[in-house]
Structure 1
């Protein structure tokens, strides 16, 4: 804001081709802050010189004050216009007249307004929440359409907005919507309260989904570690059996009379294989124990 002679000049929003609705809201707030909005709406009648000559000193003072306020209102209005738009209101003698000219140009006549409202109603009816959309984002998108409808002169109660919100949510909200409709009278609650209930439910669903995903990831990790451990154990078991065959087969081991019997060969081979099997399981248990308690337990079960 700029300051001149100790008076603060407010920053005036600029009127563009496609922002009349939001611009007019900001200007109404600006005029209200300067105690000028009633003058814009009601206007004042400029008396003829003959009539003004009959005024008392008090009436002339009030007239000067009205003229001053109207000039201030027109000045603020002009500040938000570009050159071409200014030319359309340059001939207006009061701020009320200038405001009404702009409303006719940008907001359109009643026929155009009706067409615009039909389009907006269609947009509202077709609006549906997307699968990955947050409640707050969908409500903001819905509210944008509702506000446009209201700005074009159609009255829309909050209960209509709440009913539309509830019937256009995704299927994952079905049971909570049913619970709200059974337990609450929409005419007695605020839309913020409804929105809060839906957001709490949404947060709980997100937390539950995150917990399930985490459990699945942990289970996959344990399965992979266990599979690796069993593979190592299997390899170690085959190695033990091979070593037993070299030492126990063919009746080549020396005894007190120089040779072992075939039966002794067979028993020695079985003992070597069994030893290799136990060595393999032990290797699997060692690997599993080094990677986590859960896998070590699985190794014992396998044995």
Structure 2
């Protein structure tokens, strides 16, 4: 962070005062406090990054540079965002419970896909999400999913509630 001072000896063409960097020996307590904010922000950012991400930003000198680099790395340009969205939509469309995967594991994996889609600006209705989960289940679950389709309002059924019902049914199957 640069602490600036007004240079009263020179004005710009527009008539605005010219700003020059204030020497450290001239800093007031308030200036020191402001300058330390960048160090605090950098410290917070450093503590939240894993080793891999830290290696990518360690050459940045200010918290603003770090933040801009993180945005570039995580969000990328429009093309990168579009590619991420396409992949996330494909994950959603092709979601199937894997052989040997528990409903709890599938719940975590599928919820991760939903979170990724939301972070990329893609939203599905409760009905679309619930139907996608029901289609992801193996044939042995058809009786349960058909019963749920007929007895519940899929527009109001939340993902959490769906998985709670399915986990209860899974438990009954194992008995």
TM-score (norm 1): 0.43
Say if 1:139 and 1:165, in contact at 8 Å, map to a contact too: no
Change (3 A) 1:188 1:105: closer
2:9 paired with 1:76: no
Bigger share in helix = 1
**Where does residue 113 of structure 2 map in the other structure?**
145
Q: 1:86 aligns with which of 39, 58, 62?
A: 58
Aligned-CA RMSD value: 3.0
Query: For residues 66 and 47 of structure 1, what CA distance do their matches in structure 2 show?
Result: 8
Separation in 2, partners of 1:86, 1:205 = 53
CA shift at 1:73, angstroms?
0.6
Matched-pair contact (CA < 8 Å) for 2:89–2:117: yes
Structure 2 match to 1:108: 76
The structure with more strand, counted as a fraction of residues: 2
For 2:151 and 2:31, the matched residues in 1 are separated by 60
Provide the aligned length of Structure 1 versus Structure 2.
150
Q: Structure 1: which 5+ runs fail to align?
A: 1-44, 53-59, 208-303
Would you say the 8 A contact 2:88–2:113 is kept in 1? yes
What's 1:163 paired with?
131
Seen in structure 2, the aligned counterparts of structure 1 residues 113 and 102 have a Cα distance that, compared at 3 Å, is: same
1:48 aligns with 2:22: no
Task: Say which of 162, 167, 170 aligns to 1:199.
Answer: 167
Deviations 1:95-127 (A, max 9, x none): 234201222134321111111221221122112
Q: Is the 8 A contact 2:130 2:157 kept in 1?
A: no
Structure 2 CA distance for partners of 1:182 and 1:62, relative to 1, 3 Å:
farther
The answer (yes or no) to whether the contact 2:3–2:35 under 8 Å persists in 1 is no
Q: Name the structure 1 match of 2:156.
A: 188
The structure whose Rg is larger is: 1
TM-score (ref. length: structure 2): 0.69
